[in-house]
Each structure stands twice: as C-alpha cells, then as structure tokens.
Amino acid sequence: MKRLWRDYLAGSLTRILAALFLIFIVAGTTSLYPLLIQWAYDGFAARSADVIWLAPIAATLVTLVKSAAMYGQAALVNGLMTDLESRLRSELYDHLIEADLAETTRVQTAVHTARFTTDITYVLNAVERFVKNSLRDGLTMLALVGTMFWIDWKLALATLVLAPVAIFPIATIGTRLRKIAGATQARIGDMTAVVQESLGAARVAKTYNLEGWLKARAAGRFDEVRALRVAALNAKARVQPTLEALGGLAVAAVVGFAGWRIVAGEATLGSFTAFISALIFAAQPLNGLGQLHNVLQEGLAALKRLFDTLDTPATIVSAPGAPALAVSSGAIRFEGAGFSYARGAAAVPALADVTLEIPSGATVAFVGPSGAGKSTLFQLMPRLYDLTSGTIHIDGQEIRSVDLVSLRAAIGVVSQDVLLFDDTIAANIALADAAPDPARIAAAAKAAAIHEFIAGLPEGYATRVGERGARLSGGERQRISIARALYKNAPILLLDEATSALDAESEGLVQAALAALSKNRTTLVIAHRLATVLEADLIVVLEDGRVVETGTHTRLLAAGGLYAQLHARQFREVGAPSLAVEHPVGDEG
C-alpha cells in the first residue's frame, strides 16, 4: 500500500485533502444527530414551544450539509479511482508490450488478461473501500463515540468494553481470506485460459468430437473456482453475524445499565434516547469497518501480483546511447552463435556454434528436420531472444550494440503463422505507419496478388478482417502478410516459406513478387519446398542446432549427406519434387 500511495496517489494530494475535509464534515454532521435528538426529546418533555419549529429546521440543515459533503466526497473519490484505474491499466499494458517475449509467453494469455480485469478491480475496490470505510466510517465512528462520551461517559465506557472482542475474529477471518483470494484469482486465470483455448479451437473440437472432453476439462476448472468462491463467501459471511451479535450485546448492556442509572436519577430519558440513537447511527460505519479488513486482504493479494508483473524488467533492450543500425549492403555474419531456451531451472540447447557468412543481397535457404533450430535462428535476428553465446553482425555491427527499434525496422518478416489485427485491410498492410500511403498500400497488395480480391470487396481496403483475420481465408491472410512486408520495404527479409498457404495460381504470382522483392536484398528463407531451395544462392542444412552442411542444391545432393536424405525422403513420401520438411506451429526449430 505504501508503494501504491507513493507512486500512484501522492500526486493527487490536493484532491485527497479536499475529500478528507468533506469526510470530516460527513462525520461531524452524523455525530450531531444524536445531540439533536436529545435536545428535541428533552425540549418536548419540557413542552418548549421553540423546539417544535427549531428542531425540524436544525435537522434539515444538518441533513443538507451532510448530503452535499457526501456527494462532493464521492465525486472526488470516483475521480481518483478512475484515474488510478486508467494509469494501472496503461502501465501494465505498456509493460507487457515492452516485456521480453520469453516473459510474455511464459504464462497463459488469460493470466495476463486477469491482471487487467480481476486484479485491478480488486485493487480499486480495496482503495475505494479504504477511503469510505477506513476514513469516512472511521471518522464517523470516532465522532459518534465522542458524542456518546459527551452524552454519558459512563455508558460509553460500558459499551466500548465489548469493542476489543470483535478485533480477533475479524482479523483471523481476514488473514484466511487473503490466502483464499490469492488462490481464487490464480484459478480464475486458469479457468479463463481454458475457456479461451476451447473457443479458439472450435473447428478442431467439432471435427474431432471433442465437446465432451472439453466440457469435462472445463468443469474441473469451474469446480475449483466454485470451491474457493464458497470458502471466500463463507469467510466473509462470518463477519456480519459477529458484528450483529456484538451490537446486540452492546444494546443489551446499554439498556440495562442506563435503566439502572435513570431509576437512580443519574441520567435522563432524553440522554438515554440520544445514546441509543448514537449506537444505531454507529451500526452502518461499524459494519463497513468490519468488512474493510476482508476487502483489503483481497486487494493486497491482487496488488502483489500486479507489482510482481510490473517489477519484472525487460532484458532485451537497447544499450544506453546505442546508435541506430546503419544498413549499407545487408551482409550478415554469425560467429559462434548459440542459444538455449529456459525450461524451468534447465537450459535446453537450441543452437550451438553457428558460424555463417551471408553476402549482401543473397537468398539463403535454411532446411532441416523439425527442432533443428531454423525458427530459433530467425527469432534471434530481430532480438526476440538474445544469444547465449557468440554474436550476430549486420554490415559489421553487432546487433546488441545498436538501437533495437532501428534493428527491427531493418527486418521484414513473413511467417506461416499469420497474425492480422482486428482492423481494416489497409491498416494491416501499413501496420502502425503514422501516415500510410494509399498508393504504396495498393502497390504492395498488387505485388502480393491480393489487390483484385480487395478491390472486389464492398468496402475495399476499408474492410475489417475480424479477430486474427477470421473473415479471410488462410491464403488471403498470407497474401496480406506478404503485402505488409512489401510495404515495409526492409533491406533484410525473413521468410518462413511465405507461399505455403497459397493455391498454385496465387503461389506463382507471389513467388514472382517475392523474387522481385528479394532482388538486391538479403533474404533468409526457412524452406519447405524444392522450388525455394533451387532458387537460393546458398542452402544451409541444420540438425540439432548445428550447421551440418552448406552449399547449392546440386552440390548437396552429390554430397549424399542429410540434405540428400531429406530430399529422398520427401520424394518417397509425396512422390513430387518437394522438400516439405515438417515444421509444426510452435516448433522451436
């Protein structure tokens, strides 16, 4: 909570002080009601004519002042809460966007989503209830206790004897609730992940008749959340009866003690009525204070998870004062490049001692079995991951020594796993260009053999593609992805067999476009087809993260090594001139 105050709330000190001032007014006016009741009751008993018209006026004025103060305080607190909510969400989003890829993929997307929804809601609820319950209700209770002592200090002491009895059970319930809240929010993240995964796999689910299996799997998550929710609700439910019982005991004690004192002539019926009124007015703030501990425990658990996420630093960043990458020719050099994936406490090697010289403007095809390291090599180029050993140079500049933004700006990527944003086709091609050029967009689309299709749509380039491009076919998404790379016009291209999802006619058109695009550019291709390999200036064969062969198609076939084996295997399996080396989605090779 200290950090929340220091980093997020202290800057709004003026508004907070204004809200506190209004809270003091609310507490003060509330404490006046019992005194007004005592004054009116004693005045009526004495048959005072003035009290008959003064009491309603006084009560009305007190009520108006209290109502105005409550509204002003609520408006200020609501403004603070919306500002806090916006800032927490913005900082969390910015952090996750800038975070290392390894960190964002380490946990399920639904867990990150829960930070934006459930956790921030818990934090806001805790802060809001702290202001309302800890400050407003706390000050109101203090004011009412002061009123009780003013009316009858002996009765007040007798009543307050019961207060410490409530502290222990409420504190115990709150501690247990904090543990339950943490477990509940974690299970909700798992549950959301299962739901998202199931809905995203609707086609597969229906094709393989997985409905029953998916329902059973989800039911297990639902039951876990239900059990934790029941435990949390039961813990919260114990607070109200505890406070109710203590309130009843307090009233019983007051009635008995006050009755004895009235009979003895030490108190008046008016003071007794005022004291009981103060107790009744204290019931609501007392209940709020009792519930506060539970809400704070939930908020603290959520706040810890938020800060744990925000405190995880990005390691793949530009070095201080790093110069922009200056691409003159696009020559690439790998020197002893190695990389290992972190799997828990273990490091799993993916690349080892890769040394390559790729000349400027060359087209280099990478082939090899699944898990050989092809995709890993591509992810190291734009520093989605950092090497664990060795170096990569572009035009003599080590990629970790240059500005990260300039490095990624120099690299165009077309992958098999195409991601389109839920935006227009034009926006997906220009992709974050602050001043997109319609002519360039159309030219890129024409080169990618997708312009005629787009032009035939009712809204043309303004057509929205849906979530992840769901309104388009696989081939259409792929061609828009190629148009995106053409529009970017980067000097270095990384192509993961960019034509794999196209029909024969479109493939021919796009192959020609890619050939033109690759001209005078350094192009690295993960090859799955023989046509791609035949056109390459150099073929690099990878196995178990190491370069085992390099050369042209003819030379590698003649050598009779792994490349020749892969080539022969594909001829046997498909009976066609293809090098369709398996490459499943998510393959680290």
Query: Is it the case that residue 213 has pLDDT exceeding 90?
Result: no
Query: Is it the case that residue 168 has pLDDT exceeding 70?
Result: no
pLDDT, mean of residues 501-507: 63
Domains of the chain and any CATH numbers: 2-310 (1.20.1560.10), 325-410+523-589 (3.40.50.300)
Position with higher pLDDT, 251 vs 495: 495
Cα(144)–Cα(141) distance, integer angstroms: 5
Backbone angles phi, psi at 78, to 5 degrees: -60, -40
How far, CA to CA in Å, does 145 sit from each of 46, 193, 289, 542? Answer: 27, 50, 15, 80
Q: Single out the residue of 537, 524, 536 nearest to residue 494, CA to CA.
A: 524
CB 356 within 8 A of CB 547: yes
CB 457 within 8 A of CB 494: no
Position with higher pLDDT, 265 vs 54: 54
Helix, strand, or coil (residue 431): coil
Query: Is it the case that residue 466 has pLDDT exceeding 80?
Result: yes
Residue 397 pLDDT: 94
Averaged confidence pLDDT in the chain: 80
Query: Is it the case that residue 548 has pLDDT exceeding 90?
Result: yes
Q: Single out the residue of 479, 42, 64 nearest to residue 269, CA to CA.
A: 42
Residue 585 pLDDT: 31
Please enumerate in sequence order all residues whose Cβ is within 8 A of that of 477, keeping only pairs 6 or more positions apart, or say none: 418, 420, 465, 469, 501
pLDDT, mean of residues 236-261: 65
Residue 242 pLDDT: 66
pLDDT, mean of residues 9-22: 87
Cα(510)–Cα(495) distance, integer angstroms: 13
CA 460 from centre of chain: 34
Binning pLDDT at 50, 70 and 90, where does residue 154 land? Answer: confident
Please enumerate in sequence order all residues whose Cβ is within 8 A of that of 312, keeping only pairs 6 or more positions apart, or say none: 99, 103
Q: Single out the residue of 106, 588, 586 nearest to residue 351, CA to CA.
A: 588
Residue 583 pLDDT: 35
Cα(487)–Cα(510) distance, integer angstroms: 14
Query: Is it the case that residue 492 has pLDDT exceeding 50?
Result: yes
Query: Is it the case that residue 257 has pLDDT exceeding 60?
Result: yes
115 HSE (CA, 13 A, CB side): 22
Position with higher pLDDT, 274 vs 549: 549
Q: Which residue has the tokens 């539970």?
A: 294
CB 355 within 8 A of CB 337: yes
CB 541 within 8 A of CB 549: yes
Residue 355 pLDDT: 94
Residue 588 pLDDT: 41
Residue 572 pLDDT: 63
Cα(262)–Cα(562) distance, integer angstroms: 105
For the chain, first and last CA: distance in Å?
45
Position with higher pLDDT, 230 vs 427: 427
Residue 39 pLDDT: 81
Longest dimension (CA), the chain: 121
Whole-prediction pTM value? Answer: 0.73
Binning pLDDT at 50, 70 and 90, where does residue 290 land? Answer: low
CB 177 within 8 A of CB 297: yes
pLDDT, mean of residues 418-434: 85
Residue 130 pLDDT: 82
Binning pLDDT at 50, 70 and 90, where does residue 177 land? Answer: low
pLDDT digits (tens, 9 = 90+) for 86-133: 888 888 888 888 888 887 777 777 777 778 878 888 888 888 888 776
Q: Which amino acid is present at 527?
A: A
Binning pLDDT at 50, 70 and 90, where does residue 450 land? Answer: confident
Residue 173 pLDDT: 59
Position with higher pLDDT, 401 vs 148: 401
Q: Lowest-pLDDT range, 136-145, 418-427, 453-462?
A: 136-145
Query: Is it the case that residue 8 has pLDDT exceeding 80?
Result: yes
Q: Lowest-pLDDT range, 21-25, 51-55, 131-135, 252-256?
A: 252-256
| Helix (H) / strand (E) containing 541 | strand 538-543
Position with higher pLDDT, 364 vs 261: 364
Residue 347 pLDDT: 79
Q: Which amino acid is present at 141?
A: M
Position with higher pLDDT, 467 vs 331: 331
pLDDT, mean of residues 555-562: 90
Query: Is it the case that residue 402 has pLDDT exceeding 90?
Result: yes
Query: Is it the case that residue 246 has pLDDT exceeding 70?
Result: no
